[in-house]
Structure 1
């Protein structure tokens, strides 16, 4: 099979559809892209916490970040702040790394080794302040750390609307009737009302859990995975005190029956209470959620109850259809992997389409690479629950005693012996989280490593990096008044540093 690709039809116009269009339009400018949506399009509108790949892709497409942030109610995100995940009363910090390098032995690795060598001078509690300059700026002072690699909190519905206006070369097709036609394991076209028909060389299914295209040509096989949580109750929470509540990070606060996310936008807080239906009813979850923010504050605030599909596709590319976004799968809101998964999928697809064709090997290669990425997401998320010392409810007793994939258990054994590094990680696919992210999370649970032999020159470089971090100025920007100018993988230019 040899299939030239000059045209792509994306069905579904939520954030997944428009982000896929953005990536393909940027990196495959030869493509004729059509985006098809029903007129009664009603996207879920979640996924407001992102990773640094979003602003980088926006910049690559020529988007003015300042204009984007105003239009999409966006604020800067420096990382994720975790409270009460290991024991009630503790916290840990997962920033977008402020270190100039990652690899086999960084300042983060060295600090963990120093905990073993001199625990009176080095502790897990001090790790974040000593390794990441962003900890003091973001967590202690509630300011943006410009030296960090940053992401955004965005209104997902406004994101889709902005990209619709920006992507003027993408043909938008609206119809009351949108029906995919499957023939011999492929999509032959999209039937629309009024006798219209749309066709393309390749189709992208961004129809969410409905999988309206892929379901026409295949019975999707899911990856085996036991979800930690499967329900949420979410709302737009009004600000009470913006000065303290508009923090430059996503907050994940663990509770007896689950956890709450808080994502501060310019005009409101996107928030939700995440739980497992086996241990908490929707009614109890809503009561817990309203009580968390205060009943008076939440009196007139409507909430939405959301059910997460458990299955993630083993083969998101089948025939001439590629599933992206919720159509490909979902793990849970933790670590903001939803939009990152979409962008990673679209990035990979763009690389496959660069030669302007695909062949019979392309789907298998794409699917294998995406499985590696998904397994990395699943393992990273699972570790947050598995390693917890909490046993104060049936929810936590279940999370800390249930079977987990052998892959994760083996990974943790290797990490204990060698620490996470660029040598003990698979290099055939893009990692969802690098080795420093693993160190940051594992530190929050007091994860125990063994002493390792480190060449003197590596040790010296790591010690120098810790000294530089200690001496570095902690400049900050008020998240209420920021204006991004440019972002890169290792820092951001903003106005108003203090």
Structure 2
């Protein structure tokens, strides 16, 4: 790819299109013309309502006021995901955004905790040393003005993704992005280079550009249908291919976490917003009928249903190249991973930021395209492995689905990670893995993997010294919670709602 880029067309709106437009309009010079083409006649998936902490960085870079954002998107705070029935029925654990314990020198905190559990009779769970967990259990939240790393409390948001898209549309249009309403009928290609040159709408209007972003969802109109980039199917690892989503009334108590509830047919999400609750069930049509999934979902809703449930179909996987010729696919046009760890919106953000960091309006792009695709592949593959981890480490016996998930042939990197932790309690971090050691630690422990040993460095500390340190650390983690407001009180005071 060579030549100047003066005009960019984003095909498709929704969260992916407007996040792309917002970031491009912020980063690129005003001389670059950005046009977004979308149609209100084409629906959006719109279930990506839970996020992970990097969304704060995205919003802050755009200069978005957090209070206004939460108010206009009916948002709430997210400190964690609570996994219920995933290991066995009746058990639960949290994957929080915090780090249990504290940095204690050469060895990670879990090694100190493991020794105290094995040899000193410690009856505290790992999560008792996690401030995010303590707040979740008491439905509390408040911003802590402290530089003490013990009191760090990373958080993300739950919000209405449709309202977020509208919020970013207003932002982008103020920045000069031109929105066009219309359905794309034809994609014009250069007969020699194969590059895309323009889009023709049903009413005959044509929009030419030097560079295109495919945000057309699972249709993949530009990258897949027009440029012929193939799709890698990962359903042999993640066989879920269906979801049913429905909104229900807001909850009396809005928890600061997402719920992920495993059932014999799959798993159910509950995402608490201030005006409603997002719900859905994810399942595999090879193991479960639509009627059975619908019955399971409706029997386990937390409040009165709003509207009609809608069925979604998908294929887990990714495109072989996210950037090809003069097209980058962002959002569902680039791939799909079920929303188990709230990574859908993050993958949009990550792709846009990566594109802008590597982007140039002049010059050659061969090496840039290769680097972009390589980083994108590693990132989505590590997220895929993290999702497989939850399924594979289950101990449920109530359905063929869960039994078969235990018998998966795992990706080599994931198999090595589990084996290392099981043998030694150690965790290694992969490049471009958005889930740090604390995340892998919580899920592996929560799913029942108990390390056989801890690091020998810990034996250099006396039992009394270790007990005292852990007692003081636990008290330090608990100290701020008593002074906090309830999550709902915080939202009302902070947003003025």
Q: After TM superposition, is the score higher than 0.5?
A: yes
| Aligned length in residues | 474
Q: Which residue of 2 aligns with 1:473?
A: 480
CA contact (8 A) 1:98 1:149 kept: no
CA contact (8 A) 2:80 2:133 kept: no
TM-score normalised by L of structure 1: 0.87
Q: Which residue of 1 aligns with 2:165?
A: 160
Which 10-residue stretch deviates more, 471-480 or 328-337? Answer: 471-480
Unaligned regions of 5+ residues in structure 2, if any? 145-152
CA contact (8 A) 1:232 1:306 kept: yes
CA contact (8 A) 1:110 1:463 kept: no
- CA root-mean-square deviation: 2.9
Q: Which residue of 2 aligns with 1:8?
A: 8
Task: Say if 1:341 and 1:146 are closer, same or farther in 2 by CA, change over 3 A.
Answer: same
CA contact (8 A) 1:4 1:358 kept: no
Q: Which residue of 1 aligns with 2:149?
A: none
Q: Which residue of 2 aligns with 1:431?
A: 433
Q: Which residue of 2 aligns with 1:191?
A: 200
Q: Deviations over 1:218-265 (max 9, x none)?
A: 2324154522422111100113x512xx11100001111111100001
Q: Deviations over 1:383-428 (max 9, x none)?
A: 101111111211211111232223321221233345454xx3333x
Among candidates 238, 246, 255, match of residue 247 of structure 1: 255
Quick check: 1:175 aligned with 2:182?
A: yes
Task: Say if 1:381 and 1:18 are closer, same or farther in 2 by CA, change over 3 A.
Answer: same
Q: Deviations over 1:27-72 (max 9, x none)?
A: 3445432211135232121100111122221121111111111111
Among candidates 278, 283, 288, match of residue 286 of structure 2: 278
Q: Which residue of 2 aligns with 1:217?
A: 227
Q: Which residue of 2 aligns with 1:333?
A: 339
Q: Which residue of 2 aligns with 1:110?
A: 112
Unaligned regions of 5+ residues in structure 1, if any? 486-493
Tell me the CA shift for residue 318 of structure 1: 0.8
Q: Which residue of 1 aligns with 2:405?
A: 399
Q: Which residue of 1 aligns with 2:23?
A: 23
Quick check: 1:238 aligned with 2:246?
A: no
Quick check: 1:451 aligned with 2:454?
A: yes
Distance (Å, rounded) in 1 between the aligned partners of 2:392 and 2:73: 36
Quick check: 1:134 aligned with 2:132?
A: yes
Q: Which residue of 1 aligns with 2:80?
A: 79
Distance (Å, rounded) in 2 between the aligned partners of 1:317 and 1:418: 40
Q: Deviations over 1:428-474 (max 9, x none)?
A: xx212111110111110231223223379999999858733432321
1:9-88 to 2 correspondences below 5 Å: 9-29=9-29, 31-88=32-89
User: What secondary structure, in the 3-state scheme, does the structure 1 residue paired with 2:377 have?
Assistant: helix
Task: Say if 1:178 and 1:382 are closer, same or farther in 2 by CA, change over 3 A.
Answer: same
Tell me the CA shift for residue 329 of structure 1: 0.6
Tell me the CA shift for residue 113 of structure 1: 4.6
CA contact (8 A) 1:105 1:458 kept: no
User: What secondary structure, in the 3-state scheme, does the structure 2 residue paired with 1:361 have?
Assistant: helix
Task: Say if 1:484 and 1:207 are closer, same or farther in 2 by CA, change over 3 A.
Answer: farther
Distance (Å, rounded) in 1 between the aligned partners of 2:461 and 2:39: 57
Task: Say if 1:182 and 1:15 are closer, same or farther in 2 by CA, change over 3 A.
Answer: same
Task: Say if 1:143 and 1:387 are closer, same or farther in 2 by CA, change over 3 A.
Answer: same
TM-score normalised by L of structure 2: 0.87
